[in-house]
Amino acid sequence: MSNAETVVFTGGALRWQDIAAVARQGARLELAPLVWARIDNAQAIVQRIVESGERAYGVNTGLGALCNVSLQAEQLSELSRNTLLSHACGVGPALPDEQIRAIICAAIANYSHGKSGIHRRVVAALLALLNHGITPQVPSQGSVGYLTHMAHVGVCLLGIGKVSYRGQIVEAAQALEAEGLAPVQLGAKDGLCLVNGTPCMTGLACLALDDANRLLQWADVIGAMSFEALRGQIAAFDPEIIALKPHPGMQQTGENLRALLADSQVIASSKGIRTQDALSIRSIPQVHGAARDQLAHAAQQIVAELNGANDNPLLLGTPDSFRVMSQANPHGQSVAMASDLLAIAMAEIGAIAERRLDRLVNPHVSGLPAFLVSNPGVNSGMMIAQYVAASLCAQNRQLAQPAVLDNYVTSGLQEDHLSMGTNAALKLHQVLENCTQILAIEYLLAAQAFEFLKDQRFGAGTDAAWRLLREQVPAYVQDRWLAPDIALAATLLKAPQPVLPALN
C-alpha cells in the first residue's frame, strides 16, 4: 500500500484505531517476533496432537455436529480445504474493501495470541493480502456471527474466488500471481482457524467505532449551529447546571457547546426572548452526552474482544505440556450487544437532529423565512430535505431493533444459541450511514439559516463550521438540484482527519 505508516502487532494491547488505520488508511501491518513465536508454539502443539493421534476437536475430528467423527493424518489437510470451500456460501452484495480489510486484521489479532494453532504461512498469506492490496470479494449476508465471511477470505488464499485488486475485480489466482504470491497449502486445523472466532463482527465494529466517534463530534458542531440559528437560550448549557448530572458524556458535550458558541452575538442578543427552548434544542448535552457514554461502553466491549483469543478449541501450554480446550470463546455476545447498543445510541443522534432541522425549516417556530429560502412559494426551498431526514430516521428505528435477540439453531442442535453479532455490526453500519446523511442535511439547513443572521457575529466554532461548508456549497438563493449539496456536506462529515478544531 502507498501509505508509509506501519502498524505492528507486538503482543500488547491493540486499539480499534489500529484496525481502522490498516483498513481505511492503508497502513502496513506487521507482526513482532514475539507474536510469530507464539504462533509457531501453537502450531507445534497441533503437530504433536496429529502425531499422537489424541482426539481434539477440529484438529483431527469433523466440525460442528460432526465433532465425533475421527479423521486420519492424511485427511487433515483435506479437511481444512473442504472447510473453507463448504463454508464459503454467503449471499448478497460484496462488502466494501475497507470492511474486509478490518475483518482480516481482527482475525490476525486473534492468531497473534498463539492459542489458535494456525500455521505461520497462513498468517503470512493474510498479511500479504493486506499489504499487497488484494481484497477478497466477500458476500455481505449469511453469517450467524462467524464462518461465512472468513471462509470467503480463506478460499482466496487458495487462489479461488474473486478479489478487488488495483481498482478492478479479478480472479484471486490472477492477483496472487501478479504479486508473486503462491496459493497457500493448508494443514491440520488451518481451515477451522480461518473460519472460527469473532473477527467478522469485531473488525466491522472497530470501523463503526471510528465512524461513531467522528459523528458525535460533528453532532455537537452541527447541533450548536442549529441552536444558534434558532436563537437558543444559553442558560440551558450553564456549567453549574450541567455539572449537577455527572454523566461524563454530558459534561463533554456541554463543554463543546460552550466552546463552539463562545462570543456569539446572536446568542447574546437572544437572551430572554423565550422562557425555554423546545427539548430538541435545550437537551443537546443530555442526549448527545448519553450517546457518548454508550460509545465509551461499546468501545470497551469491542476492544476487549479485539484483544481476546476467540477460537474453539484453544491450545494452551507448550508441545511438551499442553491442553486442548473446547469452549465457547467464538460466541460473540459481547460485541453483538455492544453493536446493538451503539445502533440505538446513534439512531437517537439522528432522531434529535431531525427534530432540530425540522424546526429550522418550519416558519411557525423558526423565526426564519419559510423553508429557508428568500422567496418561498415559487421556491420550495429546503422543504423536502426534511422529508429525507424523516425517512432515514424511520429506517434507523427499524435497524435499532436488537439483532442479538434473534436466536436460531444450527448444526444439528450443536450450535443452539447464536449471537448474530455480524448482523448487529452490519446494521450498525447502516445506522451510521443514515445518521451521517441526517447530520449532513442539518448542516446544510443550519448553514442556510446563518445566511439570514450574518449581520451579527456567530460563535467561534459555529462560524468556522459555516465557512467550511461554504467552501464547498454556496448559499441557497433559489431552488436548485439539492442532492449534490447533501452529498458534499456528507463528504465533509466522512473526512478521516478533523477539519475543525478538536473537541472533547
Q: How does pLDDT run across 271-300, given as a tens digit for each residue?
A: 999 999 999 999 999 999 999 999 999 999
Residue 6, Ramachandran bin (φ over 0: left; ψ between -120 and 50: alpha; else beta): beta
Query: What span, in angstroms and rounded, lies between the C-alpha atoms of 442 and 97?
Result: 29
Share the mean pLDDT of the chain: 93
296-310, 371-385, 466-480: least confidently modelled range: 371-385
Per-residue pLDDT at 3 exceeds 60? no
Q: How many CB atoms lie within 10 A of CB 328?
A: 10
Q: Which domains does the chain have, with CATH numbers?
A: 6-196 (1.10.275.10), 205-494 (1.20.200.10)
Closest CA to 421 of 145, 219, 198: 145
Query: What span, in angstroms and rounded, lies between the C-alpha atoms of 359 and 340?
Result: 29
Query: What span, in angstroms and rounded, lies between the C-alpha atoms of 213 and 201?
Result: 18
Instruction: Give the residue numbers annotated as catalytic, written as ranges.
Output: 57
Closest CA to 292 of 349, 233, 363, 354: 349
Q: Which residues neighbour 163 within 8 Å (Cβ) at sequence distance 6 or greater?
A: 129, 134, 135, 136, 137, 156, 169, 170, 171, 172, 175
246-255, 337-346, 363-372: least confidently modelled range: 363-372
pLDDT band with cut points at 50, 70 and 90 for residue 2: very low
Closest CA to 335 of 309, 301, 310: 301
Single-letter amino acid, residue 149: H
In sequence order, the β-bridge partners of residue 29 are: 7
Cis status, amide bond into 313, omega within 30 of 0: yes
CB 57 within 8 A of CB 313: yes
* Burial letters 449-482, b for 16+ CB under 10 A, else e: bbbebeeeebbebbbbbbebbeeebeebeeeeeb
Single-letter amino acid, residue 184: V
Query: What span, in angstroms and rounded, lies between the C-alpha atoms of 14 and 37?
Result: 18
H or E element: which one contains 499? none
Q: How does pLDDT run across 422-464, given as a tens digit for each residue?
A: 999 999 999 999 999 999 999 999 999 999 999 999 999 999 9
CB 37 within 8 A of CB 386: no
Q: How does pLDDT run across 183-229, given as a tens digit for each residue?
A: 999 999 999 999 998 999 999 999 999 999 999 999 999 999 999 99
Closest CA to 458 of 261, 284, 281: 261
For residue 76, the model assigns a pLDDT of 84
In sequence order, the β-bridge partners of residue 169 are: 164
Q: How does pLDDT run across 392-431, given as a tens digit for each residue?
A: 999 999 999 998 888 777 777 677 777 889 999 999 999 9
Pairing of strands 6-9, 28-31: parallel
Per-residue pLDDT at 70 exceeds 80? no
